[in-house]
Structures are given as structure tokens and as C-alpha cells.
Structure 1
Amino acid sequence: MLFIVPIAVIAMIVKKISPLIALLAGTLLAAVFALIFQPDLVLAVSGMKEWSFEAGYKGIMNAITVKTTVNPISDNPKIVEELAGLFEGKGMESMLGTIWLIICAMVFGGVMDAIGALSRISKSLLNLFSSVFGLFFSTVASCIAINFTASDQYLALVVPGKMYEKAYREKGLAPENLSRTLEDSGTVTSVLIPWNTCGAYHSGTLGVSVLDYAIYAMFSWLSPIMTLIFAAFSIKIKQLVTKTPTLDTIGEE
């Protein structure tokens, strides 16, 4: 019966239901099933001696929010030690450090954008090069630089996107080139920076330091390199298509 909870959550994911609704429904469903099928564990987590409404409520809230531990019962001390980690949960409290870091990064990035510092960085890089390859290189460098300085993936996409849109058009390059370059350098590299919102989230969720998993995230650090290689050899570089004037369009003008 307990497998109904994860199956229900997976079904909501498949149905593409909003993540907040799916997670909330999964949490509430798990709480109900715990009260029905595992009341002894709920009582143990609550820290109270007798079952009551207060004990049930406290047990569920403790399991969701704070660190909880249930001591496994066994005559073998080795088994107890090995199972102790499986019966330990940290709740939402364990994510607070990551949440504070993400909030600080977003505020810092917003301030950097508001004072024009991010635009200044992009403009400086844009003025360094005049060739098509230089334009791609400037875009990649801007995205990575803003990921480092603003600590937010969203700003690393929006700011260079606005700054380089005209430059790509003047070079006769289709907007798809800019979009792809932003994705290859702004989106995927954010997880490689420990103080970036994405890096902090991944590290907190996986329980692995960014520096430890970065070397294995080959897609993240290979994407900007491949983008520059493609730009250097003009591979898959889409040109801007201009409509040829016709008698109908001339007449309309």
C-alpha cells in the first residue's frame, strides 16, 4: 500500500502536473498513509509517549521540517548501526542553507543588473572582437562571466541576449545562433559554479560538492567548447534570411 504514494507522484509527473502541486500532493498523501499504516513510527518521531491528535500532528510536522531519527530495533549492534542512516531524515531544515544562498545570489544579481554592471561587462567583451567567431566568443565569455559575478542563471541568459541581439543581426546571423549559444554557455555552465543558484541547488540536493561532481559533468563544460569549435569552422551557423521584395510587397509599401 505504501508504494501508492511514489506511484501517484510519478503519475502526476507523467501527466505534467505543476511541480508544486505534485510535491504538495505527494507530501500530504505520504502523511495520511503514515498515520494509517505507520502510527508507531509517527509516535516515535513526535517524541511523545501516548498516541493523540497532538502526537500525530507533531510527528508528521517533525518528519517534514526538522531532523528526525528512528532507532531500529535489533539485537545485533552492527545491524543497528548500518540501518541508523536509513531511518534518519533531515526535512526542510537541511535545505535552509541552500535556500539562503539562492536568495542572496538572486538579490546580488538583481542589484548588479539594476546598476548596469552586467551590461558594462557584456559591452566591454563585445567591443573586443569584430569577427563572427569573436562575436560567438564574446557571447560565451559574457554568459560565463555573469554566471560567476551575478550568481544567477537567468541573468546570464537575459542580459547577454539583449546586448548581443543587434550584433548578431548586423552580422547577418539568425537569432537561433544566439539562442543556442546562450543555452550552451549560460544554462549548462551555471551548475559548475558553487555560489551560483543552480550550483548551490544541485550541491544541496545531491549532497555532493560542486567541485567533486564538476569533472564528471562533461556536457556542462564541453558545450561552450563545442560551440566555439562550430563557430570557428562555420558549422551549423544559420544565416539570417531576408525576404526578397516582390510586386505584391512593393505594392503594399
Structure 2
Amino acid sequence: METEKKVKERKAPSPAFAVGSFVVIIAVLVILINLNVDTTMSVFVAAIIAAAVAFILRISWAETEKTLLRVVADCIPTFLIVIMVGMLVGIWMAGGTVPSLMYYGMKLISPKILVPLAFVLCALSAEFTGTSFGSVATMGLAMVGVASTTSIPVPLVIGAVVCGAWFGDKMSPLSDTTNLASGVSRVPLYEHINSMMYTTIPAAVVALVLFTIAGLVYSGGEMDSSKADLICATLTQHFKINPILILPAVLVLLVSVFKLPALLGMGITVVVSAVFAMVFQGVGLVELMNCAANGFSIETGVALVDPMLNRGGISSMTGLLVTFMIASVMGGIITATGILDVLAKDVLLKFIKNRTVLVTVTLIYCYIVNFLTAGGQTVSIIVTQQTFEDAFDRMGIHRRVLSRTLEDSGTLSAPIVPWGVATLFVMSTLGCGTEYIKFAWFIFIVPIFSILCAATGIGIWDKEGNPMWKRGKKVAKV
């Protein structure tokens, strides 16, 4: 009886209350961050406001806690990947893997192709490993090191790195978000990936052309040879540079051939990389373990080189993990309030009249959830799928279009949320600010193709899986 009383006491948020709560939480985040308040504290304050919203709606703390614990639990695999990436970067620095990648990159890569090459290599790395974070921290880190010797703006290269990493993550059968989007939508994995090709591949081609043009414009085809020579000389002085040391990076790609889960693949790579570091650089086990925990540290006497090398370690990810955890708590509380469901069903769904509007509204809603939950890809994908699956069914559109739309927005928008976990990871790993976001062209282009597909019918299937563009079949209105 007591449980029933609590359920009855709970208030359902009105559309006006849902919109108002959403606006307040977003406004607080934006204002605090613009006032240079620490991102973690900004998200913490937003979480308190979300808890206040739950209190106003008379939602019991037990119910709120149950939801937020479920959301946090869904994020644990990402927590572990972040920890292992920190370990891997520290070991790769001490073992000479990243220094070797930087050395040969400066010797072999022309500035004219650096930007598009950063996009392609990071895309391949993430495609084979299923992790955008791992791609950024390994191949991306090496590309940024090479970029520092050119006249190309580093934020442009980081933009290419991020776009490539999230392209590969989105299209990889090993990716957690790829499996999540197909799983919650109940779409076979490779049907889901095939569906994404209609929006992702054209966007990638356009982005690659833009990165190529930008690279040529900014580089002028010139490399600062004196700076490159200084970096290379410093690297050879402090490390045994050898092509063999690149093998641990290649291993990251090879483990995917055996379709190993991302966590297991990363674990194997950490162990093999440690062995390489001890054999080829003579690093002791104790020292290597400290590098994995606290990061690699060296004083070369060259101010240009030290910031490139002094990276990695679990400790370097501590701030990110704390922010990630608080962001997950905030997302869980917001989910528990039910304001997102009301915002979708009582506000956004009223505008849906055809498939173009349906896809557009789904994209917008997924963006809203992602920004509101600090780049919470898991939450945005699950919540959006639950909200819009009935609309896609009623309109006679196959759910592979829904699962694709979830990734076109939910997965890809993570690294462009200024206060988001993915953005903070990129910033802490590559030593940059949010200025790279304006160069993340691929991420902004994909939704355009999502809407174009909906408008033209290309890449749209009916409920039975028949291609609509081949039959010119019109869809029923909701």
C-alpha cells in the first residue's frame, strides 16, 4: 500500500515544465562553463538542479537512485576503456612506440596530405578496434605530433583526427555504440551497418575533400625542417627508434581480425606493448608499471618535445573519469524525472507529419539528450530509441532507419558537446581546447545526408525491409 501511495503521489511533468526544466539545466551548464567554472563542477551543479526537478515531481530517491545506478552501470565498459587507454599511452611513450610513429611520420608524411591522412588513419584504427578513444590516444596523438612541425593549425588536424576516430567507431562491428544501437532497435548488426553507409560514406567523402583542400590551403606544402630535425634528433637521442616498435600499434588493428571485444583487445595490446618496452627500450617492470599508472615523464632539455612525450597514465584520466561519473549520475537523474519523454511525446512528436520530419525530429531529440547528459551516448541512444520506435512502426519505416539515425546523432555528437566526456577526453589526451570542434566537419555533414535520405527515399526501407527508393512507395502519415 505504501508503494502504491508513492506512485500516486508522483507528479507527471507537464510539457511546459519539461521544456522549462530542460532550458534551465542547459542554461546553467552553458553559463557556468562560459564563466570558466571547472567542467566537473558545472556538471555537478546541473546534476543538483536535475535532482531538484525530481524532488519537485515527488519522485522518491529510491526510484531516482535505481535509474541513475542503471545508467552508471551501462557506462562501466567505457570507464574501463578510458583506464586502459591511459595505461597504453604511458607504456607506448616509455616503450618508444609513439616516438617511433612520430619520427617516421615526420620523415615520410608530406604536409600536403597530413590532414586527410589523419582522417583516414584514425578512421581505420577505430574501425578495426571499435574504439574512438583508443584511436585518438594512439594514431591521433602521433598525427598531432607530426602536425606540430608544420604550418597547419593543430586544431584542424585534431578535427580530422576526431572525425576519423568517430567515423571508424560508428561503422565498426566491434564498437559498443554500434552494437547498442542495433541491439535496442532489434536490427541485425550488419543490416544496421549497411543502413549507415547511405549517410556515413557520402559524408565521409565530402569531409575528406574538405580536409584535403584545407590541408593544402593551410600547409602551403611546407614543413619547418629545422623544427622537424630538432624533434627527430631529440627522439633518437632518448629512444631507440625502430620500425619494429610500431608493431604494438599494428596489433591494435590486428586483434580486430579475430573479432575480440574492445576491452580484451586493449588488454592484450597493453601486455604486448609492455613486453616490447622492456625488450627494446630496456625499461624495468617497476618503472613501466609506474608509467602505466602515473604517465611517462622525461626532461629532454627541448621545450618543444617535452609536452609531446610527457603524457599518459591512469592518473591523467582521473579528472575525466570523475567528470564522466558525475555526468552519468546527472543523466540518470534526468532520465528518472521523465522530462525527456514528455519533451519528445508531448512536444516534438506533434510536429511529425512525414518521414522527413520524423528523421529530423529524431536527430534533434537525440542531440538534445546528448547535450543534456554531457555527451552520454548510451543514454541518448536508448532514450531516443524508446521514444521514437512506435512512430517509425506506425509510419511503416524499417527500424534500421531508426538505428542509423540514433548513430548519426547520438554517437557522432559526443565529441562536439563542449562539456561532454568525449570532448574532455580529446582535450586531455591531445592537449587542446574546444577549438577543434569547428573543424569536425564530418560530424556536422552526416545529419544533412540523414535528412536528404528521408526526403528522397534513398536508403529508406519499409517495415518489411523493401527498398522504398526502388518502388517509389509513399509512406503513410502518422
- Equivalent-residue separation in structure 2 for 1:20 and 1:3 (angstroms): 26
Task: Give CA-to-partner distance per residue, 1:48-96, whole Å, 9 cap, x none.
Answer: xxxxxxxx56533332222553333xxxxxx644444455335222221
Say which of 333, 343, 351 aligns to 1:121. Answer: 343
Shift of 1:131: 2.9
**Alignment CA distance shift 1:141-1:63 (3 Å):** same
Higher helix fraction: Structure 1 or Structure 2? 2
**Alignment CA distance shift 1:84-1:217 (3 Å):** closer
What is the match of residue 3 of structure 2? Answer: none
What is the match of residue 149 of structure 1? Answer: 372
- Equivalent-residue separation in structure 2 for 1:35 and 1:222 (angstroms): 45
What is the match of residue 298 of structure 2? Answer: 70
Q: More deviation in 189-198 or 136-145? A: 189-198
Q: Which amino acid aligns with 2:360?
A: F
**Alignment CA distance shift 1:137-1:21 (3 Å):** closer
Shift of 1:158: 1.2
Q: Which amino acid aligns with 2:291?
A: A
Contact in 2 for aligned 1:9/1:23 (Cα 8 Å): no
**Alignment CA distance shift 1:83-1:222 (3 Å):** closer
* Pairs within 5 Å for 1:229-248: 229-241=452-464
Larger radius of gyration: 1
What is the match of residue 253 of structure 2? Answer: 13
**Alignment CA distance shift 1:10-1:119 (3 Å):** same
- Equivalent-residue separation in structure 2 for 1:69 and 1:228 (angstroms): 48
With normalisation by structure 1, the TM-score equals 0.73
What is the match of residue 402 of structure 2? Answer: 178
- Equivalent-residue separation in structure 2 for 1:126 and 1:94 (angstroms): 43
- Equivalent-residue separation in structure 2 for 1:184 and 1:216 (angstroms): 17
With normalisation by structure 2, the TM-score equals 0.41
- Equivalent-residue separation in structure 2 for 1:87 and 1:164 (angstroms): 47
Contact in 2 for aligned 1:6/1:26 (Cα 8 Å): no
* Pairs within 5 Å for 1:92-131: 92-123=314-345, 124-131=347-354
Percent identity (aligned): 28
Q: Which amino acid aligns with 2:329?
A: V
Say which of 411, 417, 433 aligns to 1:187. Answer: 411
* Pairs within 5 Å for 1:191-202: 191-202=415-426
- Equivalent-residue separation in structure 2 for 1:236 and 1:38 (angstroms): 52
> Which consecutive residues of structure 2, in runs of 5 or more, have no partner in the other structure?
1-239, 467-478
- Equivalent-residue separation in structure 2 for 1:122 and 1:90 (angstroms): 41
Paired positions, count: 221
Shift of 1:185: 1.9
